[in-house]
Amino acid sequence: MTEELGQLVLEEVREKMAKAVEHAKADFASVRTGRATPALVETLMVDYYGTQTPLRQLAGFSVPDAMLLVVSPYDKGSLGAIEKAINASDLGIHPANDGTVIRLAFPALTEERRKELVKVVRHKAEEGRVAVRNVRRGARHELEGLEKDGSLTADELERIEKELEKLTHGQIGEIDELLSHKERELLEV
């Protein structure tokens, strides 16, 4: 019985840490690397007839070449709202609206801008690491509470905490791996 409580806590921790890593991965995808990719704009919120709607629900995307992203709205009436949302975003790209699709031409990144983006990505990675550590801290409090009320023995607590530590290091390692991949992507010319 006591063994099961510890395993339940660890299972919950695994799920929460995996979500933190997925969130970090999504954050990295939203950082521009000089290549056109739908991930840069698909989460942009568009004011669609008074409702904030993610762009991916309003349009299809295609990437005819590395520096061009084409946004094809399902409803041509939403073109203006989509264009406005892209202009208001922090992408720094001006959309070209031809009445049927919106073209986003991504200029090559300057060396200075690449270095700024690396700083942004490092910050996002640190946020991911902090999220993973917060999950660990919460689990530790929960486990210590289980030990205090007699649901876990000191030996079980120690064994589960070692497993928790191993899990934490694995997830942080995954975030670091994603970070180094994104940095290489950003710095490659």
Token pair listed for 101: 């699709």
Q: How confident is the model at residue 165 (pLDDT cuts 50, 70, 90)?
A: very high
Give buried/exposed letters for 148-177 (b at 16+ CB in 10 A, else e): eeebbeeebbeebbeebeebbeebbebbee
- CA 88 to chain CA mean position, Å: 21
Q: How far is CA 106 from CA 65, 148, 184, in A?
A: 10, 58, 19
Angstrom distances, CA of residue 18 to CA of 116, 137, 156, 164, 170: 28, 15, 24, 13, 10
Give the per-residue pLDDT at 114: 84
The pLDDT value given to residue 17: 93
pLDDT of residue 147: 87
Residues 6+ positions from 44 with CB-CB distance below 8 Å: 54, 55, 85, 86, 89
Nearest CA to 26 among 170, 128, 176, 117?
Answer: 128
Q: Which helix (H) or strand (E) holds 25?
A: helix 2-29
Judged against a pLDDT cut of 90, whether residue 179 lies above it is answered with yes
Residues 6+ apart with CB under 8 A from 59: 71, 72, 73, 74, 78, 82
Decide which of 92 and 159 is more confident: 159
Mean predicted confidence (pLDDT) in 57-74? 89
Instruction: Give the predicted TM-score (pTM) of the model.
Output: 0.71
The full set of domains in the chain, from first to last, is: 2-29+110-187 (1.10.132.20), 38-105 (3.30.1360.40)
SS3 at position 148: helix
Other Cβ atoms within 10 Å of 81 Cβ, number: 18
Q: What is the pLDDT of residues 26-46, one digit of tens each?
A: 888 777 776 778 887 888 889
1/88: higher pLDDT: 88
Which pLDDT belongs to residue 2? Answer: 60
Asked if residue 86 has pLDDT above 70, the reply is yes
pLDDT at 186: 83
**Mean pLDDT to the nearest integer, 130-150:** 92
| pLDDT of 88 | 85
What pLDDT is attached to residue 189?
A: 60
Per-residue confidence band for 20, with pLDDT thresholds at 50, 70 and 90: very high
Confidence label for 181 from pLDDT (cuts 50, 70 and 90): very high
Average pLDDT, the chain: 87
